[in-house]
Amino acid sequence: MSAAEGPLVVGVDTSTQSTKALVVDVATGRIVASGQAPHTVTTGAGRESDPRQWWDALLEALRQCGEPAREAAAVSVGGQQHGLVTLDAQGEPVRPALLWNDVRSAPQAHRLTEELGGAKGWAERTGSVPTASFTVTKWAWLAEHEPEAARATRAVRLPHDYLTERLTGQGTTDRGDASGTGWWSSGTEAYDEEILAHVGLDPALLPRLVRPGEVAGTVRDGHGLPFSKGTLVACGTGDNAAAALGLGVRPGVPVMSLGTSGTVYAVSRRRTADPTGTVAGFADARGDWLPLACTLNCTLAVDRVAALLHLDREAVEPGRGVTLLPYLDGERTPNLPGASGLLHGLRHDTTGGQLLQAAYDGAVHALLGALDLVLEEDADRSAPLLLIGGGARGTAWQETVRRLSGRPVQVPEAKELVALGAAAQAAGLLTGEDPAAVARRWNTAAGPVLEAVERDEETLARISGVLSDAAPLLDRDHGVRDG
């Protein structure tokens, strides 16, 4: 392997299931070293993780990177959004973090929406209508159900904030991740003190907002880190904003990410305020906006269906009569937090492969419906759809997206785009460049383009019809609103 041409940086992706670290050559974008370590998530009523596992996983991932990590001049962390991390006076977790896909706070989301101006008021104020995913609803749930934990809390952080603070010793966050909390105003780009007062959260417990391009701090001594004291630390950001940086996407380019959750988004110059709540008006990590829609059920839900059928995930078969809504964890888009999976149209001749294809169709249908709302009216609807995330390399996912979107689909060859985006952010600290321009210089979005095929309007209409007819059943919430 040839020597690096320029300084080295580290980009980190702390996701739901694992933490990954890349050492990247700033001059060329070449990945010099990488590492990855898992962490666990609880099952059952809630979805929780111990933040200390994220730190241990980061240390292990960096250890796997070896000597190149010791040469890094800057580091940045991209992380799963929305998670509620509560710390005590010593900086230790008061309790496990409540993750983005923990839907127990659905009743609090409903109440907060009604108590503070309704959906339209929230959208105008924060850019988004709160759902059970948003951090503000999780704090409200904690204050109601575990008041002792809320009283013991001396700092509130997001997942990427937690790791950044362990690196620097300072509590910081950025506009991209803060925009997913529900207590950050997209109009003023500051914490909303009325919302914080309403949920009983002292603003002094929140991290300092760091501007794009600003240094969040420097690496402090020890703690098992390979970095030299004084290594620059960027502000980091949420995973979707980091992936947008990693792709270097320009305004109007549609992105679909297929992971544990599914997301669709596009960079926009205009602040979004969707009163239906389908589109979250997030900020990006640069100074623009990242209107985004998210589903809770994507690759894991489809893989679960494949496992139940004892089929390989690629063992799909065409079929026109069966519909499967794979809402195994409740759903965010559409907003049905208490829903479960629903199967309709089962016949004697229905095959397992057709059921599996129906699961893919149900997952992609939700994302494509949201994409139409994410894109601005003047967007080029024939432009290639950038397909990223763990599912993007699966043939069944690619073909389902092509068939149901009617668009050409481009699959970037670069992997680990969240970590690459974080690396581009770190590189920008050293070079003074826009991190998205750094990623474009690295050519991270390059990849094959799959030609468009005729849009399968029949399947889209059938799924929409089943969803509409089953709405009363799906919205029964199975006790979620009373949780």
Pairing of the two strands 72-79 and 237-238: parallel
Other residues' Cβ atoms within 10 Å of the Cβ of residue 304: 16
Q: How many residues does the chain have?
A: 483
Distance (Å, whole) CA 207 – CA 198: 19
Q: Do residues 95 and 247 touch, judged by C-beta distance below 8 A?
A: no
Please write down the long-range contacts of 222-230, taking CB distance under 8 Å and 24 or more positions apart. Answer: 223/166, 224/59, 225/59, 225/62, 225/167, 226/62, 226/63, 226/65, 226/69, 226/70, 226/72, 227/10, 227/69, 227/70, 227/72, 227/75, 227/167, 228/70
Q: Which of the following is catalytic: 192, 239, 284, 288?
A: 239
Strand, helix or coil for residue 141:
helix
Structure tokens at 338: 């208490």
Angle at 25 between CA 19 and CA 28, to 5 degrees: 125
Angle between helices 352-374 and 299-308 (to 10 degrees): 170
Structure tokens at 143: 């204050």
Measured over the CA atoms of residue 99, residue 103, residue 104 and residue 109, the dihedral's sign is: positive
Burial group, residue 280, by CB count within 10 angstroms (0-12, 13-18, 19+): buried
What DSSP character marks residue 338? T
Distance (Å, whole) CA 125 – CA 195: 10
Distance (Å, whole) CA 423 – CA 417: 9
For residue 239, indicate whether it is catalytic: yes
Give Cα 108 to chain centroid, integer Å: 21
Residues with a catalytic annotation lie at: 239
